[in-house]
Amino acid sequence: MTRLHIFLAAVLAILLLLPLFLEKYVLGIFVMIFFFAYLGQSWNILTGYTGHISLGHALYVGVGAYTSTYLAQNYGLSPWIGMLVGGVFAVMIALFLGYLGFRFGLRGVYFVILTIAFAEITRLIVSHVEALGSFSGIFLDFNPSFWNFQFRGNVPYYYIALGFMVFSVIVVRILELSRAGRFMVAIREDEDAAQALGVNAFKYNMIAIALSAFMTSLAGTFYANYIFYLHPDTLFGMALSIELILRPIIGGLGTILGPVLGSFILTPLSEISRAYFTKGGFEGLHLILYGVIAVLVVLFMPKGIIYYVKRWLNPMLKLDEKNSVYTQKRNEAEAES
């Protein structure tokens, strides 16, 4: 076990104990930190590892939320099961979108426009379907139980959101170590060169978008049963898509801990500044703050904050490793003498 693993295990242990000491409001902020870290990590699978930028990922959040809620309200199906059904629907949509984009070679801004168009089309459809609440949205009845994915207080949501975040980190780590993950990185670096070397770019792009969509849709069910209100403009709108992509961009695209670090930086800033500016009559000012941070990171930390954190820690880790090796050799020499 490396020092990094020990550090991460210690951080996880602290996070598991935090609810014992946090107030309800602060606990809610941590729920959103984990939630957006999970969403950012899910988006990172597609954009961070294949290089295809999606600005319509809110589509999959909405599909997951509306599917599980509709099945729960009309058929009594538990959201725990409904989220998997929503995940299947999200994968079907993603594969159709991916086929149009990857089979016909849409890249860059053209692929971005395609993802935005799909999200907007879905938003308009949902807004006109009475069974899905139309423009008024859907209010969820509060019936707290594990089966209903509804709980009293923030503590259960805290641990579920933490589990989602840890799950996403594990999935991305497995992906990084897999053959598919290496091929995705090759596609990101140079898709034409990867194909020339025998990589089936279409296949691995489709795997990436399907996995990304499935994981993103699961977060929709969590959101629905945490907020208790669904609205097409909120769940399918551009604002949510931008919210979820900022975390990995700020933290570091194509890295395991980048989205997590980005969420730990941006989410508390967002929640606190939104509450503070709203009281002062400056609604929406937190979005300007977001923009300033994004511009500064792009200009001065283009690889994401996690890259510079690692570079700052690396000399110390190397020095520590050198000292430990020296100490080990000295102990061996003393033992021989």
325 found inside a domain: no
Quick one: pLDDT band at residue 288, thresholds 50, 70, 90? confident
Quick one: pLDDT band at residue 310, thresholds 50, 70, 90? confident
Per the structure block, which two tokens stand in for 7?
């550090």
Q: Tell me the CATH number at 161.
A: 1.10.3470
Backbone phi and psi for residue 142, each to the nearest 5 degrees, phi listed first: -95, 105
pTM of structure: 0.88
319 found inside a domain: no
Q: Which domain holds residue 177?
A: 25-303
329 found inside a domain: no
Domain tally, the chain: 1
Place of tokens 């995940």: 87
The mean pLDDT of 305-316, rounded to a whole number, is 72
pLDDT, tens only, 91-124 = 999 999 999 999 888 888 899 999 999 999 999 9
CB atoms within 10 A of CB 167: 14
Give, rounded to a whole angstrom, the gap between the first and last alpha carbons of the chain: 31
DSSP 229: E
Top-ranked range on mean pLDDT: pick from 146-160, 270-284, 290-304: 146-160
116 found inside a domain: yes
Measure the CA–CA gap between 107 and 71, rounded to whole angstroms. Answer: 36
163 found inside a domain: yes
The neighbouring-strand residues paired with 230 are 138
67 found inside a domain: yes
56 found inside a domain: yes
pLDDT at res. 326? 37
What's the count of helices (H) and strands (E) in the chain, helices before strands?
14, 2
Quick one: pLDDT band at residue 327, thresholds 50, 70, 90? very low
169 found inside a domain: yes
Percent of the chain with pLDDT over 70: 88
